[in-house]
Amino acid sequence: MVCAGLAETIRKQENDVLNFIWIGFFLGAAATALYQIVVLANPGVLGEIMEATFAMSKTAFEIALGLTGVMTLWLGLMRIGEAGGAVALLTRLISPFFTRLFPEVPRDHPAQGAMVMNLAANMLGLDNAATPLGLKAMNELQELNPHKDTATNAQIMFLVINTSSVTVIPVTIFTYLHQLGYVNPTELFLPILLATSCSTLAGLLAVSLYQRLNLLQPVLLLYFLVFFGAIALLLAYLQSLDRAAMQSFSMLLSNGIIFGIIIFFILLAAIRKANVYEEFISGARDGFKIAVSIIPYLVAMLVAIGVFRASGAMDLLLALIDGFCRLVARLLDWLGIITYDGGPLAFIDALPTGLMKPLSGSGARGLMIETIKTHGPEALVSKMVAVMQGSTETTFYVLALYFGSVGIRKSRHAVACGLIADFTGITAAILICSFFFG
């Protein structure tokens, strides 16, 4: 009886996490705005906050609207894959791994195929394909959910893996760096791979501890060994290429695999004499419905983040972190562990990008570009922000998007595990860049 009561208390606390965080954004913004008005005589901050509420509401709607076409395309293709048996084939290949990582999901369930496709797109750095496939997987998992407003263990595991998934070919990051004048952006390939691997492993460990899953099962270890072995071979090959050849190969591999999957789906469905066009239309109809359903959740989260940032609360938080880190550095210098002369710490200037990434992808991208332009592409802090951008994900955005698409309001331990993965990725980015380039 006591155990049952304790379990219920824990579940309630998990469900309240997102609620408390959302309220905290607004209360933190209100307190900071009051300080700016009373102490700093800056009444204009209220105008900036209100402007942020309208701007972020518009942004949330534009994101949902922009997703409609892409989701329509990929949900239609997924239906073709299901009709032709291609999704079932992929599911059988990965089923031994997924049945142990997602014990709640039956073998050969449609959710497994959608999850495989989503994770593959994420590893290739193709966000436009990964998002609709992830939403498809979340909808399939919701069919197994006995409590429709509460996230299941499987949904949380999928969400955390998705927000921290290994990016093998970070094409987008390389493109940005090249445009900003980075001479050899592909030198960050290994640091990004290592940092994002740390983030993924931390997310897996956090969720497995919450859900009491044993990650040391032989089948899981075998899959991990094969996966990281393949990454090591790919890494060895890419390191033998020059910058231009590596970028060309990365683009060819990423786009070639995705387009190859599309053709494979269509051919297999045609061989099985399915009406490919009708199957596509049937699946594509769900794209608009899902896109509309996520608007309230995106508005709620993006407005809260926008208000927190516009009030100056984010800058205040960074100032506090800066002071704390300098205090620790001076203490370590006094103990003779490191040498610190009181000057700027490279990773302090990188922290705005790291702290913004779980909140806003576009915000973090803007901060990364601003940092690189300010300090120069070859500076250590520029390398840190680039690796952070490639090794962590917009946890709150993905949570609002994925859970919002199926009407989940109680996120349980999803936020905590996602933030653990983000914190690990940010810390790994700082340490790895310091090791490689410091």
Report DSSP state, residue 410. B
Is pLDDT of 345 > 70? no
Contact between 349 and 375 (Cβ < 8 Å): yes
- Inform me whether the pLDDT recorded for 49 exceeds 90: yes
pLDDT on residue 82: 78
Give the Cα separation of 113 and 49 in Å (integer): 43
Judged against a pLDDT cut of 90, whether residue 296 lies above it is answered with: no
d(CA 205, CA 334): 36
Q: What is the pLDDT of residue 1?
A: 41
Distance of alpha carbon 162 from alpha carbon 393, whole angstroms: 8
pLDDT band at 50, cuts 50/70/90? Answer: very high
Alpha carbon distance 80, 198 (integer Å): 35
Q: What is the pLDDT of residue 2?
A: 36
What's the whole-number mean pLDDT along residues 112-135? 74
Return the higher-pLDDT residue of 338 and 357: 357
| pLDDT reported for residue 237 | 80
Mean pLDDT for 102-127 is 77
CA distance 123 to 391: 11
Nearest Cα neighbor of 177 from 406, 392, 368 is 368
Chain centroid, CA 55 distance in Å: 23
Q: What percent of the chain has pLDDT over 90?
A: 12
* Average confidence score pLDDT of the chain: 80
Q: Report the pLDDT value the prediction gives residue 17, as an integer from 0 to 100.
A: 60
Check pLDDT > 80 for residue 91: no
**At 46, is the pLDDT very low, low, confident or very high (cuts 50, 70, 90)?**
very high
Burial class (CB in 10 A: 0-12, 13-18, 19+), 398: buried
Q: Tens digits of per-residue pLDDT, 211-243?
A: 888 888 888 888 888 877 877 787 778 777 776
Average pLDDT of the segment spanning 385-394 = 82
Q: What is the mean predicted confidence (pLDDT) over 64-76?
A: 75
Q: What is the pLDDT of residue 171?
A: 63
Q: What is the pTM of this model?
A: 0.69
Domain ranges (residues) in the chain = 2-437
Q: Which amino acid belongs to residue 254?
A: S
Whose CA is closest to 156, among 203, 216, 222? Answer: 203
Mean pLDDT of 250-273: 82
In this prediction, residue 29 carries a pLDDT of 93
pLDDT at 60: 79
150 phi and psi, to 5 degrees?
-125, 130
pLDDT at 33: 94
